[in-house]
Structures are given as structure tokens and as C-alpha cells.
Amino acid sequence: MKRRTFLAATAAVGLSSQSTWAQATKATKPLRILILGGTRFIGLHMAEYALSRGHSLTFFNRGRTKTDRLPQIERILGDRNGQLEGLATGSWDAVIDNSGYVPRHVTLTGELLKARANRYLFISSISAYASLATPNDERSPVGKLADPSTETVDGATYGPLKAACETAAERSFGAARTIVLRPGLIVGPEDNTDRFTYWPARAARGGDMLAPGQPTDPIQVIDARDLAAFAVLALEQQLAGTFNIVSASGQFNMGQLIQASITAASKLAKPAQPAKPIWRSAEFLEKQNVAPWSDMPVWVPPVGDGAGFAATSTDRARRAGLTIRSLEVTARDTLAWHLQRPLKEQQELKAGLSAERETTVLNAKT
Ligand SMILES: NC(=O)c1ccc[n+]([C@@H]2O[C@H](COP(=O)([O-])OP(=O)(O)OC[C@H]3O[C@@H](n4cnc5c(N)ncnc54)[C@H](OP(=O)(O)O)[C@@H]3O)[C@@H](O)[C@H]2O)c1
């Protein structure tokens, strides 16, 4: 692939209206950062924050996703699946790998760049842990692949593949130059999964709103902008090692998420009838075939295999400077972003219950 550069006339062109970084102070030392996959969701937030700190950026991707965003950033076109010619030259202070899902891809970029970049930051996931039945910290065992050669990314392999990618990054760059971030559910404006978005979007419709489990059921999320700020901080401070990146255990619960969504909706969408949560137990929802996480996004009942899911330790990241914004701010900004999406995207969310299904469940005998 040929290297293609797109330089914009002004540094401000393409910054999203959701940018909250206008007031960011400049870093003491500007860094040259290569982002592998920068044009979707978390990459956009990382890029905007890094720019606001005075860093210079290069994106490496195939040129398919959101090609109109951040046009002032240099682009190198290629494919992680072996088309890396565009990365044959150039040097960077740091690489942020947002788009690594199989270890072969991470090894390809790790080996190619280890002599021309100082640090490799790999975005992994808390799904890397072997079990979510008990709370995890960074020393907990990670999952292992039944077939180490598989490159099929699905519900069973996603986590162990991420763990194998972490190892691949460390093998190339060495532990002292590798940062592994393990985010929990990433939320906020630009989220293409619609999981957190479902709640403020649902509250915006108003009326009786199905709410899962108990208001006290714990949740953990990370606003993509807080993840972005920590990633850039980790590079600026030349951190190394593994960090869980999510809100603190016990910080947020489902009742607070629902309330933050209703508050955001009352300000931004002003439904004729404000949304009113109707709480239904995990047992009732199971009987109605309402699935945690996909039908009732963000929520995982805190029992059995999921007992530790929303209790991940973040002590290490918090000591290193991770900050978490409030659910009110995330819900408000997510709804503001959602309400300006194309109508089709607003109406066809990828997660949560349809209005019809929700009504059926609400009308079912308890
Ligand atoms: N969403 C969550 O809740 C969550 C939670 C924990 C961890 N994570 C991790 O967060 C990361 C980021 O996710 P995301 O949704 O923001 O982005 P993503 O979907 O992983 O990556 C999209 C970016 O990568 C580029 N890309 C995709 N395939 C490519 C390829 N074969 N070669 C080169 N570039 C490629 C895309 O541009 P082109 O299409 O133009 O190539 C785009 O810029 C992932 O590593 C995911 O595992 C997500």
C-alpha cells in the first residue's frame, strides 16, 4: 500500500461537536503517536484528546470506516492482515493498537515497529480474564484458547485471543515498553454498539420503561473519553504493565444509570410522559427470555458466572491517574450525540429491546 497523507488547512477541522478537550493543557513533550485503527469510537476520542495535548498523530487503517473524520491527521493505508508496506518507514514515540483481535496481527506490527517506536499500548479487554465469577485484578489468570491457532473471533474466543495479543505485544516490545489496558464496557458518544446508548435513548421515549434486576445491582463502565485520557497519560508518563480501565467497583449501579438516563432525557428530549422505571427481577426476565447484556444492556446479574463481572479492581489505574466522569455526564453526552444521528440509526439500535417486545414483557404476569 502506498502511503497517503491528508493534511488539513486548519487544526480544528473535523473535530467532533462532542469534543470536551478544548481546555486541555499541552503536554510538556509532544509525542508522535501512531494509532492502529483510529477512525472509530475509542480511536476518535483518543485522537481528539492527543491532539488537544499537542501530540502529532498518524492513523493506520484500511480507509473504510468514517473516512471523513479528523481529516487533518496523516493516514497510512493498509491492512493488519499482512498489508503493512505503508509502515515500512517512519518512526514514532508510541503506537496505540486499538484494532488488534488476533495475535498474528499484533506480532506483525510489533516486530515491524519495535525498532522504530518506543512504546506499544495495546487495548485489550477485561474479557481476557479466565473467569468473571469472582472479582479480577491484573494478576488474575487470563483465558486460554482451546485451539491456539484459531483466528475466529467469537463469544468464546474473543477474550483468550485478546490475552494472546497482549503476550504478542510484550514479546515484541518487551515488558518495560508495553502498556496493556483492559477496559470494561466502553461507553459514551460515538459508541457503535448501542449498548449504553439504549438507556438514555429509551428514557427519551418516556412512559413505562422496563428496568432489570435490582436498582442496587452493580455496573462498571468506562466513558471512552476517560479511557482516551488515561491512554495518553500512560504514554506521556511512559508507564508499563497492565491496567484494568473501568469505573471503580461499587461506584455505579443500575438504578443510577436509569436515573441518569431519565434526567438526561428530561433535559434533552422532554418526552410527553417522563420515563418511569418498572423493575423486574432477574428470575422474571429469564422466564420471559429477556437476556442480560444484549436485551438489557450493561446489566449482568451479580450471581453465578457473572458474580465478579462488575467488581473488577481498578486500584492500579486509579493510583496511576485514571479519572472517571459521572454517569450523568456520560448519559447526557451520549443522548445529545444519539439525537443527532441519522434517524435510521436512532430507530434501529443494535442492543436492547424493541418497543413492542418491551410492552409484551411489561404486560406479562409477574
Ligand atoms: N466496545 C467495548 O465495550 C470494548 C470493551 C473492551 C475492549 N474493547 C476494545 O476496544 C478496541 C477498539 O474498538 P473500536 O470499536 O473503537 O474499534 P475497532 O472496531 O476495533 O477498530 C476500528 C478501527 O480499526 C480500523 N481497522 C479495522 N480493521 C482493520 C484492519 N484489518 N487493518 C487496518 N485497520 C483496521 C478501522 O478503520 P478501517 O475500517 O478504515 O480499516 C477503524 O479505524 C478493540 O480492540 C476492542 O477489543 C472494546
Q: Which atom of ligand 1 is nearest to the CA of 44?
A: 16
Q: How far is the CA of 64 from the centre of ligand 1 (A)?
A: 12
Report residues whose beta carbon is within 6 angstroms of any ligand 1 atom. Answer: 37-43, 61-65, 79-81, 98-99, 123, 125, 183, 185-186, 193
218-219 and 74-77 beta bridge pairing: unpaired
Instruction: Tell me the C-alpha distance between 51 and 104, whole Å.
Output: 30
Q: What is the pLDDT of residues 269-324, one digit of tens each?
A: 999 999 999 999 999 999 999 999 999 999 999 999 999 999 999 999 999 999 99
Q: Where would I find the beta strands (DSSP E) of the chain? A: 3-4, 32-36, 56-61, 74-77, 92-97, 117-123, 178-183, 185-187, 208-212, 218-219, 221-223, 241-245, 252-253, 276-280
Atom nearest to 123 CA in ligand 1 = 45
Residue 99 CA: nearest ligand 1 atom is 20
> What single-letter DSSP state applies at residue 243?
E
Ligand 1 atom with the shortest distance to the CA of 192:
15
Alpha carbon of 219 to ligand 1 centroid (Å): 23
Q: What is the pLDDT of residue 24?
A: 78
Closest CA to 153 of 145, 134, 56, 220: 145
- The 10 Å Cβ neighbour count of residue 346 is 15
Query: Residue 13 C-alpha to ligand 1 middle, in angstroms?
Result: 23
CA distances 257 to 264, 335, 364, Å, are 11, 13, 24
CA angle 102, 188, 190 (to 5 degrees): 70
pLDDT at 2: 38
Confidence category of residue 9, pLDDT binned at 50, 70, 90: very low
254-266 pLDDT tens trace: 999 999 999 999 9
* Strand arrangement, sheet containing 32-36: 3-4, 74-77, 56-61, 32-36, 92-97, 117-123, 178-183, 241-245
Rounded-to-integer distance, Cα 104 and Cα 150, Å: 10
Residue % of the chain over a pLDDT of 70: 94
State pLDDT tens for residues 70-100.
999 999 999 999 999 999 999 999 999 999 9
State in Å: Cα 206 to ligand 1 middle. 33
Ligand 1: centre distance to CA 288 (Å): 34
- 14-40 pLDDT, tens digit per residue, is 334 445 666 679 999 999 999 999 999
* DSSP classification of residue 79: B
**pLDDT level of residue 4 (50, 70, 90 thresholds):** very low
Under 8 Å between Cβ of 245 and 346: no
Euclidean distance between CA atoms 90 and 105, whole angstroms:
19
Mean pLDDT over the full length of the chain: 94
Q: Nearest residue CA, atom 28 of ligand 1?
A: 99
Are 127 and 183 a contacting pair, CB within 8 Å?
no
**Cell triple for residue 257?**
444509570
Domain ranges of the chain: 26-183, 198-220+252-305+327-363
pLDDT given at position 284 = 98
- Domain 26-183 falls under CATH 3.90.79.10: no
User: All 3 cell numbers of residue 196?
Assistant: 449504553
Q: Which atom of ligand 1 is closest in space to residue 62's alpha carbon? A: 41
Q: Give the end-to-end CA distance of the chain in Å, rounded to a whole number.
A: 60
Q: Residue 255 is inside which H or E element, if any?
A: helix 254-268
Give the C-alpha separation, 227 to 242, whole Å: 14
What average pLDDT does this structure show over 140-160?
97
Cα 39 to ligand 1 centre (Å) = 8
Span 346-365, mean pLDDT? 97
| Size of the chain, expressed as the number of residues it contains | 366
